[in-house]
Each structure stands twice: as C-alpha cells, then as structure tokens.
Amino acid sequence: MEIITIKTPLGVAEIQGDQNGISKICILDEPVEITTKIPEIFNEVISQLQDYFDGKRKEFTFAINPIGSDFQKKVWQELLHIPFGKTCSYLELSKKLGDVKAIRAVASANGKNPLWIVVPCHRVIGSDGSLTGYAGGLWRKKWLLEHENPTQQESLF
C-alpha cells in the first residue's frame, strides 16, 4: 500500500492505494508535507481529482478498492448512484437499500466512507434539507455541494 499527499482547494488530501485500486482518499486538517515523487499508480486519480476541482469532471473512472464491511460497501455502492449536482436524504438512501429502519446504520456507513469526493457521501443530507454531519467538516460539504451545483444568476431582462 502506497500513500501520498496532494494539495486541493479544500486542503491537503491523503491518498492510499496499490495495483488493485485506490482504497482511501481523505482530507487532513493538520499540516503535512506534500508528496513530491508520485508513484505511477496515482497519476490517474490525481488527474481526475484535478479535473473535478476545475469543473471538468462529474464522475470518476479510476479503480477503487475501499476497505469495509459488506454492509458498508453496499451503502458506498449506492452513494455512487447519486447524480452529480443532486442530493439525497439519509431516509431516501435507506429506502433505496431496502430497509427504512436501517437509517442509523446507513448514516454510520456513510460517515465511514473512505473515498472522499469519489464516493459522494457529501451529497447525502438531512430529510429537512440540512447539511448534517460530514467527516471533512460541514464547510467542506457546503463547498462541494455548491461546486457541483452553483447557483446561476437569473437574467432580469
């Protein structure tokens, strides 16, 4: 398993992966040194993340290999179906997974998502539209949602 750190508009991201795919992307709050020698296995993920932040990419196509329980992986797989620029509530997500009573377990799995941005847990909000819980901080969740769905100024004429 190799680990690198890169700069993003939201801070330093740590990326872990190997020849089987990227297993973790997380945002760090503490200052760390940025990786200068990037192993080849990370070239595509870095390129696609840059395209995302530049507004040129709406989905990711590099190989992922998240580590988690079968249930967590099922939740993370469902998150991949939330379209770019859209949101879904924890309740809606639980219904899509077939068990409305599993809302807390779904929320917990969502919070343990190891692939920041790529598996779009930031698109899950409260039933009332509130920006509930986000491991990267609510300000980052808000930034990501606005980045994906910027408010367009309407013409007055």
Residues taking part in catalysis: 121
Collapsing DSSP states into helix, strand and coil, what is residue 80?
A: coil
CA dist 23 to 61, 67, 91, 110, Å? Answer: 14, 6, 27, 15
CA 39, 56, 65 angle in degrees (round to 5)?
40
The Cα 67–Cα 102 span in angstroms is 21
Contact 62, 22 (CB under 8 A): yes
Helices assigned H by DSSP within the chain: 43-53, 70-79, 90-96, 103-111, 138-148
Which has the closest alpha carbon to 116: 134, 90, 132, 104?
A: 134
